[in-house]
Amino acid sequence: MFRCEGLVGKPASQMFVEANISGLFQEYHFPTIPSENNATEIQCNTRQLYQFYDTFNMSWNGSAIRCAVKNARTNEIMRSSLHILKVISENYCVGKGNNLYPHPYECQKFIRCEASQVYAVFACGSNQCFGVNEIIAGGCTFCNDPNLICYPGAHM
């Protein structure tokens, strides 16, 4: 999942993702699920949050991705800053039991494995991390907890 949020004007402009998976930036129109507060009006704008769902396989790993909004009146495109994708290997859960495991790149997230496949990726709450000690407890703890051991390679 990749999230884009921002003011898209009135009438609402088109929001999409751009990525350089093939070396040049291209538009990708993934299936989106708007948030519950998708159409919050703020003065003469509409704040929208879109969650883009796609199966990002390992060929996307290391690609730059960004949100883009095309103005409904002028067709001008505004872009967010770049985010480098780090894709979880489809083999991450192979040999692991049906349980929760640390995200390999981000301490604030964890993965649910089922039947040797990634079932879902979850995020801990604000200022919370999922560390090696939490695997048994199945929960998150505050990132400043002195007993927290973040998964090697992950960042906070």
Task: Give the residue extent of every domain in the chain.
Answer: 2-84, 88-156
Residues in a beta bridge with 141: 129
What's the pLDDT at 69? 83
H/E stretch holding 8? none
pLDDT class of 115 with cuts at 50, 70, 90: very high
> Environment class of residue 122 by beta-carbon count within 10 Å: exposed (0-12), middle (13-18) or buried (19+)?
middle
Mean pLDDT of all residues in 103-127: 86
| pLDDT > 90 fraction of the chain, expressed in percent and rounded | 6
What's the pLDDT at 11? 63
CATH for 2-84? Answer: 2.60.40
Q: Cα–chain-centroid distance for residue 11?
A: 27
What's the pLDDT at 45? 60
CATH for 88-156? Answer: 2.170.140
pLDDT digits (tens, 9 = 90+) for 37-82: 445 555 556 666 666 666 677 788 888 989 888 877 788 888 888 9
